[in-house]
Amino acid sequence: MRIKPKQQILLLGPKSYLVRAEGRFDCEYGSVQLDKLVGKAFGTKIKIDKYNFSIVQPTVTDFLFKLAKRAPQVILPKDAATILAVTGIGRDAVVVDAGTGSSFLSLFLANYVGKIYTYEKKKEFYKLASRNIKNSGLKNISIKLADISKGIKERNVDLITLDLEGPEKIIKLAEKALKAGGWLVVYCLHVEEVQAVCRELTKRSFTEPRIVENLQRNWQIHVGKRTWTRPKSVMLGHTGFLVFARKI
């Protein structure tokens, strides 16, 4: 595949940079004329000063971490990936995402599923998410400036995700919108919120909830005359709880 004018590309080297194939780009390693990359094949290697870089197609994760604008709270890939792994949803799935925020979860899931309908009631977040969705290039996300507590129009939904205040109040609506066997996933910041969600789930036609917390710790390795490995001092600890349940 060849690079098109103004297309997003990833310069992958000692560091990685998400840029568009236009104009000049300056970084700590030097500068490169990006418009001269138009027409070259992805995988082409270039030099910026004495440093080697490959031109590669960016993934949705590259976009999320390097270009997308954030609201204060986002669902990180460690939790978003767990949603995919536990629910097993695929490319034909229909998803409703409530509490769009910066649209990080919608953008992550949209790379794997068929269609996403995402609800955001705050105008400032709606505008932010709309820009992120447009800049991502993904075409299977429909964003609504709407309060999901007023109703969910979609039916026979494969997955509903809730990342908003008072999620237990939405469970009755989610039950109606989900197909039999469809998944409900609630992202909770606090144990008390988990308890409220689980109490409501027991009143509805759902399986026994499963609660997951992800703690992620990276390791560092030094290769030399003496090779050593140790866990990094700082880890990505608690971000939130994921509550999973399926409609019976």
Higher local confidence (pLDDT), 158 or 137: 158
Same domain for 188 and 202, yes or no, is: yes
Is residue 186 a part of any domain in this protein?
yes
- The average confidence (pLDDT) of the chain is 95
pLDDT of 81 > 90? The answer is yes
| CB 214 within 8 Å of CB 78 | yes
Q: What is the CATH number of the domain that holds 43?
A: 3.10.330.20
pLDDT of residue 69: 75
Q: What percent of the chain has pLDDT over 90?
A: 89
Same domain for 132 and 214, yes or no, is: yes
Same domain for 124 and 154, yes or no, is: yes
| DSSP code, position 2 | B
Is residue 227 classed as helix, strand or coil in its secondary structure? Answer: coil
| CB 32 within 8 Å of CB 69 | no
Is residue 177 a part of any domain in this protein?
yes
Q: How far is the C-alpha of 124 from the C-alpha of 143, rounded, in Å?
A: 13
Is residue 151 a part of any domain in this protein?
yes
Same domain for 39 and 72, yes or no, is: no
Q: How far is the C-alpha of 20 from the C-alpha of 6, rounded, in Å?
A: 5
Average pLDDT over residues 106-129: 96
Is residue 28 a part of any domain in this protein?
yes
pLDDT of 184 > 70? The answer is yes
Same domain for 42 and 111, yes or no, is: no
Same domain for 132 and 50, yes or no, is: no
Same domain for 140 and 192, yes or no, is: yes
Same domain for 54 and 86, yes or no, is: no
pLDDT digits (tens, 9 = 90+) for 122-152: 999 999 999 999 989 899 999 999 999 999 9
Is residue 2 a part of any domain in this protein?
no
Q: What is the CATH number of the domain that holds 206?
A: 3.40.50.150
Is residue 187 a part of any domain in this protein?
yes
Question: Structural domain of residue 52, as residue ranges?
Answer: 8-58
Same domain for 227 and 143, yes or no, is: yes
pLDDT of 73 > 70? The answer is yes
Same domain for 192 and 123, yes or no, is: yes
How far apart, in Å, do the first and last CA atoms of the chain sit?
Answer: 45
Domain end among 43, 58, 73: 58
Average pLDDT over residues 80-106: 96
pLDDT digits (tens, 9 = 90+) for 40-55: 999 999 999 999 999 9
Same domain for 37 and 142, yes or no, is: no
pLDDT of residue 72: 64
Same domain for 54 and 141, yes or no, is: no
pLDDT of 86 > 90? The answer is yes
pLDDT digits (tens, 9 = 90+) for 199-218: 999 999 999 999 999 999 99
Most confident of 65-74, 102-111, 229-238: 102-111
Total count of domains within the chain: 2
